[in-house]
Amino acid sequence: MSVPRERYLSPVWRDGIFTSKVLFCTGGAGSICSMQVRAFVALGGNACIIGRNVEKTEKGAADIATVRPGAKVIGIGGIDVRDPKALQAAAERCAKELGSLDFAIAGAAGNFLAPMAQLSPNAFKTVMDIDALGSYNTAKAVLPYLVESAKQHKNTGSTQPTGTGGRMLFISATFHYKGQPLQAHVAAAKAAVDQISHAVAIEYGPYGITSNILTPGPIANTEGMERLSKTDPESSKAEMKKVPLQRYGEVKEIADATVYLFSEAGSYVNGNTLVVDGGQWRTAGASMSHAWQYPDFLLSGAAVEGVKSAKGSKL
């Protein structure tokens, strides 16, 4: 099913900036990662998406390829990111069939809601293995190709006639920034993912490679929202209040952030985390008290009452 371009890409980007480049993406048939890949392909690139479900992955690849005449998108299903040999074989096939491997997204992830009292060691390990070990395995599989791409498309800060290459992106979350109930497993896994990205940035930066973390917030109409949030109108309204911009994000906004980090505009961004969540992670303590509900209390202009005043204190 074709997706209108305005749903996955802003009009600010110049067509052709990724011409002849290749993107390798685990979890590429997912509701967010597929839009990241779609934007890349629309701007001239080709892609290889990886997934466990063969039918979903192959159909996803065929659908993404419709965004641009002549686009080549391979869907390799039946791949478990916990299997390093399978990922290495997939990366090799990608480079062989598409001619190179210039960009990579480690997007495969597992998540569900569970308090620690109901979270078995095996369930915890499964998420750690998919998210953390899977991201590490992905990096190990693609880095040799990214090094070659960085040699051909040098990161000098000056405009290169051949464009950019040698870029790695890890998909994370904000749970470990602020603490989150029911997400002990994912918080631990994503904290590890962040550190893997940092290690790539430090150790492979000298080769011209950039490694960054992209952290989506609550994004409307995605698998994550269906699994982690109640979608009834009242619950959604309450959740949106926790976001300073008072709305959920759009998949286009994650795809735009991806294009930025892969484009010349992001050439000197390395070892960084780009949180695209409308500022939600900054409001962790904003609704700690029922007396001062965020953002209603701020918008009301009322004075803070019922607590000890700071008057007379030496500040």
Place of tokens 């899977």: 134
> Considering the domain boundaries, does residue 27 fall inside one?
yes
Q: Which positions are catalytic?
A: 172, 190
pLDDT of residue 310: 44
Instruction: Convert the pLDDT of each residue in 195-218 to its tens digit.
Output: 999 999 999 999 999 999 999 998
Kindly state the percentage of the chain with pLDDT values over 90: 73
Instruction: Convert the pLDDT of each residue in 228-263 to its tens digit.
Output: 666 677 878 888 888 999 999 999 999 999 999 999
Task: Check which CATH number belongs to the domain holding 205 and give it.
Answer: 3.40.50.720
pLDDT tier at 312 (50, 70, 90 boundaries)?
A: very low
> Considering the domain boundaries, does residue 94 fall inside one?
yes
**Structural domains in the chain (count):** 1
Determine the Cα–Cα distance for residues 94 and 295; give it in Å rounded to an integer.
48
> Considering the domain boundaries, does residue 309 fall inside one?
no
Determine the Cα–Cα distance for residues 153 and 72; give it in Å rounded to an integer.
21
- Choice among 112-126, 193-207, 215-229, 285-299 with the minimum mean pLDDT: 285-299
Determine the Cα–Cα distance for residues 97 and 73; give it in Å rounded to an integer.
10
> Considering the domain boundaries, does residue 140 fall inside one?
yes
The residue range of the domain holding 203 is 13-300
Identify whether the C-beta of residue 262 lies closer than 8 Å to the C-beta of residue 203.
no
What's the per-residue H, E or C state across the chain?
CCCCHHHCCCCCCCCCCCCCCEEEEECCCCCCHHHHHHHHHHCCCEEEEECCCHHHHHHHHHHHHHHCCCCCEEEECCCCCCCHHHHHHHHHHHHHHHCCCCEEEECCCCCCCCCHHHCCHHHHHHHHHHHHHHHHHHHHHHHHHHHHHHHHCCCCCCCCCCCCCCEEEEECCCHHHHCCCCCHHHHHHHHHHHHHHHHHHHHHHHHCCEEEEEEECCECCCHHHHHHCCCCHHHHHHHHCCCCCCCCECHHHHHHHHHHHHCHHHCCCCCCEEEECCCHHHHCCCCCCCCCCCCHHHHHCCCCCCCCCCCCCCC
> Considering the domain boundaries, does residue 251 fall inside one?
yes
> Considering the domain boundaries, does residue 254 fall inside one?
yes
Burial of 277 (0-12, 13-18, 19+ CB in 10 A): buried
pLDDT of residue 307: 58
> Considering the domain boundaries, does residue 113 fall inside one?
yes
Determine the Cα–Cα distance for residues 34 and 26; give it in Å rounded to an integer.
10
Q: Which residues pair with 273 in a beta bridge?
A: 213
Determine the Cα–Cα distance for residues 278 and 276; give it in Å rounded to an integer.
6
Identify whether the C-beta of residue 172 lies closer than 8 Å to the C-beta of residue 214.
yes
Instruction: Convert the pLDDT of each residue in 1-53 to its tens digit.
Output: 578 899 899 999 999 999 999 999 999 999 999 999 999 999 999 999 999 99
> Considering the domain boundaries, does residue 4 fall inside one?
no
Instruction: Convert the pLDDT of each residue in 257-294 to its tens digit.
Output: 999 999 999 999 999 999 999 999 998 755 544 555 77
